[in-house]
Structure 1
Amino acid sequence: MTLRVAVVGAGPAGIYAADILTKSEVDVSVDLFERLPAPFGLVRYGVAPDHPRIKEIIKALQRVLAKPEVRFIGNVDYGTDIKLEELREFYDAVIFSTGAMADRDLRIPGEDLKRSYGAADFVSWYDSHPDVPQTWDFGNGTHAAVIGVGNVALDVARVLAKTADEMLVTDIPEQVYAGLKSKKITDVHVFARRGPAYAKFSPMELRELNHSPNVEVIVHPEGFEVDDHSMEHIAKHKTHKLVLDILANWVGRDIEGKPHRIHLHFMEAPTEILGEDGEVVGLRTERTELVGDGSVRGTGEFTDWPVQSVYRAVGYASSPLLGLPFDERDLVIPNEGGRVLGLDGDHVPNTFVTGWVKRGPVGLIGHTKSDAAETVGHVLETTSETAPSREAADVDAFLRDRGIDFVTIEHWEQIDATEIALGEAQDRLRVKLPTREDMLGARES
């Protein structure tokens, strides 16, 4: 008998899990449920539009969706349209790969001020996520702060600093271009509480920060400190050494006088977002010093930076899922190697997780492959055929009876073709359909 598996979340983690399942020696069928009308998750809605190289991953993911053993079922919201006990009627195992799309808090005063933003919200806007507002309030400020030293912080800083016309070659739709055109930002300040040896940028992402003809990258020498522990750290981590070398080459270099600037500040820990009349007017940081073990401590020396907006890029957080336990400290579904653990510490039968909802938002997209392999190994070891209704038609009938307007792979191909055609008309590779209604309307009857 065919092992039937539901995967909830059709981003890279879920699609990799489906791929590994179909390559196993077990006869399987996999249905990928996705709450959006489009697959690919983070690659489509979390990667900056001016990174088409990373989006090449979509081609590999698309090949998995084309497999006869895999079905894409989009525009279905887990917890609202279908619940865990209902999935168990049709599937022998359920894998959750819902990712992490919420912002982690800094937990400093002023986070709730106007124009204090989470990076995830900004990324969703410029990536035209269909479930977020179509406008963005940049205000009239000329200086913005970005808090964080990961690739998302770099993406946010780069999009804030670049001109709208530079972004027009990407897949952004008209309202994102208009929003970027409206911003007055000339200077973006990126803050890290530790030294440059511990920055989590990838070398390629960091180098690309310096490619814009309109943006100058300035690494400030204050706080650019490297101690013995820092040297031991980079000796063990090749990418961190490459990043440190790039940054060191930029310290003190000649200023070219480009119209926009990205400032990188190390050893500055944000302590408060300053406000006036409910709006951001500054960011207060405390100078830190290296302790010698990789950590830092405050020095009591504070600086107020006159910025008019703050973007917090300190990590993504997963959200709780109906019917599953949730670890409020680590913001993941509690699990052992991908097997979901109940409140009693026992395995929840035939229920699994993979990707960021399993291990937190760490690692690059490609790292989810090995993560999915671990989870799928447990699926194949511990699962037997238990679902009473075993036909794909049963699932479709259930959704139609619920009045759910679900999207098939054929529908997605029509949406995809529409976006490509919109791009060709403007000499671009693609222009995204920005709203759910636009996407659903692109389907042929």
Structure 2
Amino acid sequence: MKREIKDSIVVGAALFAMFFGAGNLIFPPAIGLFSGDQWFFSLIGFFITGISLPVLGVLSVSLSGGTISDLASKVGPKFSLVFSTILILAIGPLLAIPRTGATVYEIGVAPLGTFNPLLVSIIYFSITLFFVIKPSGIIDKIGKILTPILLLVIGAIIGTGLLHPIGIPVTTKLNNAFSFGFLEGYQTMDALGSIVMGGIILVALIEKGYTDRKKQIKMTTIAGLMSGTLLTLIYGGLMYLGASIGSNVSPDISKTALILKITESVLGANGLLVISVAVSAACLTTSIGLTAIVGNFFEKISKGKIPYKATVVFVCAFSAVMSVVGVETIVEIAVPLLVFVYPIAMVLILFNLLDRYLPHDAAYKGAALGAGLIGAVDAVKALNFRALNAIFEPIYTLINYLPLANVGFAWLLPALTLSLVFGLRAQRTTKLETSM
């Protein structure tokens, strides 16, 4: 029993560290700054998409079988393959992994002096490659080595900021703080990452000798709750610090400049060195976890034809080049893809958790279709092409009339409606076939 608790803590610490990467450090302070005295309501919205959903995602993957393919399989094998590949690329070399390298340079290295961004990126991803080139023991390396460093440094920043406030949250003109926080939670990519992180957690438990499914689910649940608690405390602290410094900075300050200003205000001259360590640890844990996931995914779907080592080497090399474009650019690129994929990911997570209550597996197809249609329209809108916006304007207006559209849930009613239609129709067809 003691061993189970110890291993659950290590896995939970590693899961927290993999979640707490680039976006998790730079987005909460920016949300706090924009929300001002309403920062707590933004935290509640952020809690849903940035904390609760990722934890549920890990549990959902564990319940469905342990892989992203298992999670999406009830929609259909072709959909599962396409969706899994898009998701892996999104949280992998196209967006999330390069963003960790860009953040390390902009927050952790550039403030300390003049350095070549490409050289810094190469060194950073070489360290990532060192950790992931051998897939076994990755969770232990993260949970036992990198997580304590991360918690110590971030805890020092937040703790000092709470004991010695840097200001008072100011009143802002934000109309719906909850909705703002909810939508900003998308940018962490953690709900998407959780779907694939669930797989690496399962592999780690199997490596430790836990082969019983019930025990795996129990330990995954404990690890998820632990990581969720840590994330809530740290997000809340960072959001408060962002709100507190509102009267001392321009509202147009960049996300990276904001976290640097906060750290300097809290810790003084040593702040730059502290934040450098914090950023490097936070981003490295995420980069290591996601790179390993990408390597495992392509080796599995190719049945060994695309070797794990070749994939992780390519991912590190590609990400080293991609990260040079900068954090803000990567964030802008991410928006259309995220608003399309997120609703689908959310219904898959929720439906797998509620699987026993669904009338038929066809319900998954209806839900994915409904969420995907709304997500596709939102993606077109996020592209912000004038010609497309003119064509889609009537659809945008219609979607705004859907229930909960103002808080980011426009996809919910179409997903539930089509899920019910598909599920009941398939159930009825099955009964007719059985009676014949």
Give the alignment's TM-score, normalised by structure 2: 0.27
More helix by share: 2
- Structure with max Cα Rg: 1
The one of the two structures with greater contact order (alpha-carbon pairs below 8 A, sep at least 6) is 2
Give the alignment's TM-score, normalised by structure 1: 0.26
